[in-house]
Amino acid sequence: MSPAPVIIAIDGRSGAGKTTLAVELAARLRTHHKVSLFHLEDIYPGWDGLAAGVERYVSTVLTPLSRGEAAAWTSWDWERHYDGAARVTLPAEIVIVEGVGAAAEAARRMLDAVVWAESPDDVRRTRALDRDGATYEPYWDRWAAQEEEWLGSDDVPGHADLRVQNLADGSAPADLLQLLPYLPALAPVLAPELSARRGLRLHAERLDAAPDAPALFQSLYGRSANAVWLDSSNAGTGPGGGDPAQRTAAERSRFSIMADDGGTFGQRVTHRGGVSRISAGSSTAKVPGPFFRWLDTVWGRRAVRTPEGYPGEFTLGWLGCLGYELKRETGGSDVSAATPDAALIFAGRAVVLDHAEGTAWLLALEAPDSEEWLAQARAAVEAAEDPTAEAGGSTGVVHPEPPTFRSRDTGAGYREKIAAAQHQIAQGNTYEVCLTTTLEARIQAGSLDPWTTYLALRRRNPAPFASYLRLGTLAVASTSPERFLKIGSDGGMRAEPIKGTRRRAADPQEDGRLRADLAASLKDRAENIMIVDLLRNDLSHFAAPGSVTVSRLCAIESYATVHQMVSTIDARLLPGAPRAEAVAACFPAGSMTGAPKISTMAILDQLEAGPRGIYSGAIGYFSLNAASDLAVAIRTLVINEAGDGTVELALGVGGAITSDSRPDDEYEEIRTKAYGVLSTLGSGFPDG
């Protein structure tokens, strides 16, 4: 008897390519493991024997193997149509069983992973007959009817941990092997495969070029289904000079990052309601469990060295967005949203623009396709330097009819909620409530182009944490000025909450008065300081004792459409602390909840009566050198295809409510915050 093996079942209809997939997967796993392989076609008792074959397989093969014992079983002689020779399948560290019914209900309790392979019906038939010849053709319909009957009562695809679109192009085994280690049951035995990911080699190439960023992104990623541009769109636009606050803002705008999920290492993950779905090429894995627990398995340990001379912190990795409803994992309640709770891509290659040096960096993990991509990227950078390259777009979006937004709350309703929040403050249940509402518009698909909309937004309202995300049917166009959390590769942590807003004015004297009014406002300072205190506590959970400091308190920064009050809290990560958990300890941003965080989130659930979605979450990256930089998802237009020929536009806005808040002023503040996005679309704030 041997230790119980890890058993992987590869199931699917006839002709889905299960046998080839199993053989090739076994060959790859044998690099580090002893692997045993069993084919169900050897045990089915004839062309009408699917159900009986599954029963034989479970009792005589799977049951002993799952105990670490050798399996003695009787084969089927397909020429004589009778029982054949007695055979033995020995246990091994990993056992792969493949065939129709390999993951049947009676088998699943003994399996560690279920893979469902699928192909189009015409491809399956052709593939099966090419493999088995004319002997199978007369029985195809009989066998297919058995499969249909079996699957009608046993939803094997629905129970699969991984699903593979097996196109027989040779990509499926590699794609599958990328995802198998994500399954908790397989992670321990596949430790060598996980370790190989931490031995990646990073190529970094510096180009003395300052390409037009929109033209470069469109050239490289205009056709990508999943692409991310973390765009410091206000680089070079701020006054800088001797103003320390503006110099700090300029430092946040040094780098822009653009990437997609293409190439050898490309992956994507979408998390909803406690389940992460990770895709690599043709394969998709379903991993139940908290998102931040999954994130800890893929990020937080240095997998690459930062290249010599490279000034940035991003060294490839995961990029995308986290939705506010991930609060279910950090002390908040469970609320469902129309958008994913998290959506990220893994970039094995990217372009980083250094706006301070006027250079472009090409980053790529060494892979068979990296040289080809590097050549394409060099050419794209060179072409985007051409003054005739595509410009960044206008500051407005022309539509036949501007979208008409509706608000979750009328003006009177929002003011009533402000009063309700103040009642909670008076009762001692909270000190500050960051009350939000959502503006929504439903439009016909194709009537608004997310890309040109983002270009107009970035020109009208440049911001250090602007970003454009295209993630399947979801697009996010953000002009956020606020950093949520930065964790450096060296363990330095920084949060920079914004609390306090005034509009910009065209008249310089009026603009200066508004800025001075914000700087002198006791109410805004109180809001800001309460959030600073909250974030000091959030950071302290994983910070080295004594390392939490406030380096800036209530500084004023000016952007294209608003003045903002910003503070900076720094800390140093405790050596060995889990970085994903450090992010979770601060999520969602305190500037978007109020204080104390957990009790105030419960109050907000009652007051807001609906999900926030991407708004109030975070946008940014988790790098392979263990660094992360995340912005708060504010000033953000979310464009979500509904699947019925329409698109839902969503814009979240809100403000901090304290005991001395004036409802009319607070309502005017959310109108001010919405103005930059709404005016770009040609839309107005909903009446009422």
Return the top range by mean pLDDT from 101-105, 187-191, 194-198, 240-244.
101-105
Per-residue pLDDT for 676 more than 80? yes
Beta strands in 328-399 (DSSP E): 342-347, 349-354, 359-365
With contact defined as beta carbons under 8 Å apart, do 125 and 132 qualify?
no
DSSP string for 506-520: SSHHHHHHHHHHHHH
Query: Residue range 320-349: average pLDDT?
Result: 97
Q: What is the pLDDT of residue 559?
A: 87
pLDDT tens for 610-619 read 999 999 999 9
Q: What is the pLDDT of residue 400?
A: 65
Query: Residue range 193-218: average pLDDT?
Result: 90
Report the alpha-carbon distance of residue 573 to residue 579 in Å, rounded.
8
Assign 591 to helix, strand or coil.
helix
With contact defined as beta carbons under 8 Å apart, do 56 and 40 qualify?
no
Q: Which residue has the tokens 């009989």?
A: 142
Q: What is the pLDDT of residue 138?
A: 79
Greatest extent of the chain over all pairs of C-alpha atoms, in Å: 98
Give the angle subtended at the CA of 387 by the CAs of 381 and 393, to the nearest 5°.
90
With contact defined as beta carbons under 8 Å apart, do 58 and 106 qualify?
yes
Per-residue pLDDT for 86 more than 80? yes
**Mean pLDDT score of the chain:** 92
Q: What is the pLDDT of residue 582?
A: 98
Report the alpha-carbon distance of residue 679 to residue 504 in Å, rounded.
14
Q: What is the pLDDT of residue 686?
A: 93
Assign 295 to helix, strand or coil.
helix
Query: Residue range 39-51: average pLDDT?
Result: 94
Nearest to 220 by CA among 261, 259, 268: 259
Report the alpha-carbon distance of residue 69 to residue 60 in Å, rounded.
11
User: Any idea what DSSP says for residue 644?
Assistant: S
With contact defined as beta carbons under 8 Å apart, do 371 and 361 qualify?
no
Provide the Cα torsion 562, 563, 565, 570; round to 10°: 80
**Percent of the chain beyond pLDDT 70?**
93
Per-residue pLDDT for 439 more than 70? yes
Q: What is the pLDDT of residue 237?
A: 54
Report the alpha-carbon distance of residue 512 to residue 516 in Å, rounded.
6
Q: What is the pLDDT of residue 295?
A: 97
pLDDT tens for 264-320 read 999 999 999 999 999 999 999 999 999 999 999 999 988 998 899 999 999 999 999
Report the alpha-carbon distance of residue 59 to residue 82 in Å, rounded.
19
Report the alpha-carbon distance of residue 476 to residue 239 in Å, rounded.
28
Per-residue pLDDT for 438 more than 50? yes
Tokens of 506: 């065209």
With contact defined as beta carbons under 8 Å apart, do 634 and 616 qualify?
yes
What residue type is assigned to position 625 of the chain? N
Query: Residue range 627-645: average pLDDT?
Result: 95
Higher pLDDT, 241 or 215: 215
Question: How long, in residues, is the chain?
Answer: 688
Assign 134 to helix, strand or coil.
helix
User: Any idea what DSSP says for residue 376?
Assistant: H
Among candidate residues 327, 486, 499, 597, the one labeled active-site is 499
Assign 67 to helix, strand or coil.
coil
Report the alpha-carbon distance of residue 422 to residue 332 in Å, rounded.
21
Per-residue pLDDT for 2 more than 70? no
Q: What is the pLDDT of residue 555?
A: 95
With contact defined as beta carbons under 8 Å apart, do 4 and 67 qualify?
yes
Q: What is the pLDDT of residue 167?
A: 78
Report the alpha-carbon distance of residue 161 to residue 142 in Å, rounded.
29
**Exposed, middle or buried, 489 (CB in 10 Å: 0-12/13-18/19+)?**
middle
At 40, give phi and psi (nearest 5°).
Answer: -65, -25
Q: What is the pLDDT of residue 241?
A: 43
Residue 417 among the catalytic residues: no
Q: What is the pLDDT of residue 398?
A: 52
Instruction: Tally helices (H) and strands (E) across the chain.
Output: 20, 31
The helix (run of H) or strand (run of E) holding residue 297 is helix 291-298
Q: What is the pLDDT of residue 239?
A: 46
Query: Residue range 160-187: average pLDDT?
Result: 90
**Percent of the chain beyond pLDDT 90?**
81
Nearest to 75 by CA among 94, 90, 93, 61: 61
Tokens of 88: 């033995």
- Prior bond of 596 cis (ω within 30°): yes
Among candidate residues 98, 329, 482, 496, the one labeled active-site is 482
